[in-house]
A and B are shown apart, each in its own frame.
Chain A
Amino acid sequence: MNRRSGTGYTGVPSWVYVIAAAGSLFILLPLVAMVAKVNWPQFIPLITSESSLTALGLSLRTSAASTALCVVLGVPLALVLARQPFPGQRLLRAFVLLPLVLPPVVGGIALLYTFGRQGLLGKSLEVAGIQIAFSTTAVVLAQTFVALPFLVVSLEGALRTAGSKYDAVAATLGARPTTVLRRVTLPLVLPGLASGAVLSFARSLGEFGATLTFAGSLQGVTRTLPLEIYLQRETDADAAVALSLLLVAVAVAVVGLSYGRRRSSAPVKEQL
């Protein structure tokens, strides 16, 4: 294999490149197949139909909200997991990561039995006049449930890499723990936090199973873009394909925006 001059020894056998190429084709080919199937003359009308725009708007709004919620809940979780060891820390980490490997529909059922009308907290909330299941709030909660591990994992990694040396110096200079967190710890892990937030956003955007189970599919309230695509697939295949392409474009833009700027060590796992 001809390499550019000035590059060093990589130690990668040539056959690895062949399999890697097959691997990238495996990802790319379905996308190409989908693009080939798009009804281009009808593309714009299909994605600007009222139901499509409503679903897209709802998806973007709920994903933004769940990303914010992931940051609010995930930053403290990552800090607790990355700094001082404590009894039960490994167990806590295992539970936080559980949604990564759990089928989303199971997550949805679990949420239903927590926040649903007959659920663990739902009953008390019902008394207080708050109904969560099958509302837009439920969509945000479902998305947060599945997306939170992405933020925690990438931020915990960044925190461990940064270490606590700078935090210690800041403390001896007279900074209170909150000041250290705000002015030293978080600025140092900002790239990790940003890539974690982007991954969470992307995961929220693609969330389907937990949303359908816990929030249902009410147009304008809980029917996000993936749900709209699934619904359209039964009646209007062209619309489903066009919307899928739209979702791919949004996802590529979001991920590309953050990964294009700087390399990140965040692990990527995606499932729907």
Chain B
Amino acid sequence: MTFDLTASLPARNFEMSLSLGPSETLAILGPNGAGKSTLLGVISGLLRPESGSARLGGRELFTLDGGTRRWSAPHLRGTALLAQEALLFPHLNVLDNVAFGPRSTGASRTEAREVARHWLDEVDALALANRKPAQLSGGQAQRVAVARALAAEPELLLLDEPMAALDIHTAPLLRRVLKRVLADRKAIIVTHDVLDAYMLADRVIVVESGRIVEEGPTRQVLERPRSHFAAGLAGLNLVAGTLGQEGITTPDGRVFAGQHDPDWSLVAGQAGVAAFPPSSVSVFLGDVHGSPRNSFPVTITDLEPHGDQVRVRASSGPSNTLSADITPAASADLGLAPGMEVRFVVKSALVSVYPA
């Protein structure tokens, strides 16, 4: 019982191909406009790609190529969609909202309500059964929406940033609920939050500009990111270049010395990346004496508070942004300000180097 999809929609610069094992939860990460919602639209049948095919379990969702144009309507797909907004039907109470799915697929009113009560209980919202959606808080509404999606017994559950509209106090409860209900079912969750990916997903796909740029088990992608987006989510600096004995050589000739993972056998000349946390970066004014390795000039672009540190963002080239975390006192001593030219020094013991 797997899910396979290949779809392309040139009008939206979208071209993806992915598959999902039984009871696997996949997180889709990526910047705004990368095609995450387009992907969910294509899977749920709300958006028709130009070509491609998809199968869920033994069923065909669509086959669109030269001669064959088969397309099954959204209601036949068994892919319930949970969006950022709960979108509970405002004219139905909570119980009938959750009963909507089973009722629409042929259950009697009594049966449907029985199913609805079960799922409301599952998301700790049974007490809200008789309320109207307008009387719910954002977190309650979203929990009810989860119950409504699950009551439809989808073979594949699609979640489009379900936590994005919730405040930081209500999101943890929903996250716990999702962790419980997603445990043994196929689901695809689009998220901006690295915590969602860690807690809920077995595997991560990073998309940029309508393409999959990175894919792998959650922990591996977030600890060994290969794309700038994943590195940004994981809070790491990322420098791309070619692998060498020393570490990474960037296209402009700079060398980042670092630690190779012993599991990887090094092939010189292979493309690779160096990743290091902002806390491993020190900031100096003027020239640095001693080891010249991992020391390079940068121009400060921004200073912002980050926890009890100051995050210094600086550019070391046209498209490469690096961050350093230093104490507020150090920042004041150095008199840092945007536009200043300083030197970043990275401890090579804290740089991981691995193939891209």
- Which residues from chain A sit less than 8 Å from chain B, CB to CB? 165-166, 168-177, 179-180, 183-184, 187-188, 190
Contact B73 A173 (CB under 8 A): no
Q: Flag if B87 contacts A173 (CB, 8 Å).
A: no
B100, A170: Cβ atoms closer than 8 Å: yes
In the complex, what distance in Å separates the CA atom of A183 from the CA atom of B103?
A: 11
Q: Does chain A have a CB within 8 A of B90?
A: yes
Range of interface residues on B (Cβ < 8 Å) = 20 to 34
Do B75 and A176 touch (CB < 8 A)?
yes
CB contact list, B73-108 vs A, under 8 A: 73-75, 77-81, 83, 85, 87, 89-91, 100-101, 104-105
Is residue B149 contacting chain A, with contact meaning CB distance below 8 A? yes
Q: Is the CB–CB distance between B81 and A176 below 8 Å?
A: no
- The smallest beta-carbon distance between A130 and chain B, in angstroms, is 40
B299 within 8 A of A: no
Residues of B within 8 A of A187 (CB): 89, 91
Say yes or no: B104 contacts A170, CB within 8 Å: yes
Given A169-B83, A179-B104, A183-B104, A174 contacting B78 (CB threshold 8 A): yes
Q: Would you list 17 pairs from A and B whose C-beta atoms are within 8 A, ordered by A residue?
A: A165-B85, A170-B89, A170-B104, A171-B46, A171-B73, A172-B44, A172-B75, A172-B79, A173-B101, A173-B148, A174-B104, A175-B75, A175-B100, A176-B75, A176-B104, A183-B100, A188-B91
CA distance A171 to B83 in the complex (A): 13
Q: Are the CB atoms of A174 and B105 closer together than 8 Å?
A: yes
A173 in contact with B149 given A168-B81, A183-B104, A184-B89 (CB within 8 Å): yes
Is B152 in contact with chain A by the CB < 8 A criterion?
Answer: yes
Flag if B100 contacts A172 (CB, 8 Å).
no
- Cα(A165)–Cα(B100), bound, Å: 16
Chain B residues packing against A (C-beta within 8 Å)? 44-46, 73-75, 77-81, 83, 85, 87, 89-91, 100-101, 104-105, 148-149, 152, 154, 158
Q: Which residue of A lies closest to B148 (CB)?
A: A173
A residues in contact with B75, CB < 8 Å: 171-177, 180
Q: Which chain B positions have C-beta within 8 A of A179? A: 104
B80 and A173 form a contact (CB under 8 A)? yes
Evaluate contact between A172 and B87: CB separation under 8 angstroms.
no
Hey, which chain A residues are within 8 Å of B149, CB to CB? 173
Chain B nearest CB, measured from A271 CB (Å): 35
Complex Cα distance, B147 from A173, in Å, reads 11
The distance from the CB of A74 to the nearest CB of chain B, in whole angstroms, is: 21
The CA-CA distance from A184 to B79 in the complex, in Å, is 19
Please give, as numbers and ranges, the residues of chain B lying within 8 Å of A168 by CB-CB distance: 46, 74, 81
State the Cβ distance, B299 to closest chain A Cβ, in Å: 45
Minimum distance in angstroms from B254 CB to a CB of chain A: 50
Residue on B with the closest CB to A162?
B90
A168 to B75, CA, bound (A): 9
Chain B nearest CB from A105 CB (Å) reads 42
With A and B bound together, what is the CA distance between A187 and B149 in angstroms? Answer: 21
Asked if B89 contacts A166 (CB within 8 A), the reply is: yes
B77 in contact with A172 (CB, 8 Å): yes
Chain A residue nearest to B78 (CB atoms) is A174
Most buried by B among A168, A176, A179: A168
Bound state CA distance, A179 and B80, in angstroms? 16
Using Cβ atoms and an 8 Å threshold, which residues of chain A touch B77? 172
A190 to B224, CA, bound (A): 54
Nearest-CB distance from A237 to chain B (Å)? 51
- Looking at B87, B101, B104, the one whose CB has the most chain A CB atoms below 10 A away is B104
Contacts of A172 in B (CB 8 A): 44-46, 74-75, 77, 79-81, 152, 154, 158
Instruction: Find out whether the CB atom of A173 lies under 8 angstroms from the CB atom of B104.
Output: yes
Contacts of A180 on B, CB cut-off 8 Å?
Answer: 75
Please give the distance in Å from A111's CB to the nearest CB on chain B: 38
Closest chain A residue to B145 by CB distance?
A169
The smallest beta-carbon distance between A180 and chain B, in angstroms, is: 8
Q: 9 shortest A-B CB distances, which residue pairs? A: A175-B104, A171-B74, A173-B101, A172-B81, A173-B152, A174-B105, A187-B91, A171-B75, A169-B87
Chain A residue at minimum C-beta to C-beta distance from B77: A172
Q: Pick from B45, B81, B100 the residue with the most CB of A within 10 Å.
A: B100
Task: Give Cα A169–Cα B148 distance, bound, in whole angstroms.
Answer: 10
Q: How far is the CA of A168 from the CA of B80 in the complex (A)?
A: 10
Complex Cα–Cα for A240 and B38 (A):
65
A187–B154 Cα distance when bound, in Å, is 25
Residues of B within 8 A of A165 (CB): 83, 85, 87
For A190, list chain B residues within 8 Å (CB): 91
Closest to A165 in B: B87
Q: Which residues of A contact B81 (CB under 8 A)?
A: 168-169, 172
Shortest distance between the CB of A156 and any CB in chain B (Å): 20
A contact residues around B104 at 8 Å (CB): 170, 173-176, 179, 183
Query: How many angstroms from the CA of A176 to the CA of B89 in the assembled complex?
Result: 16
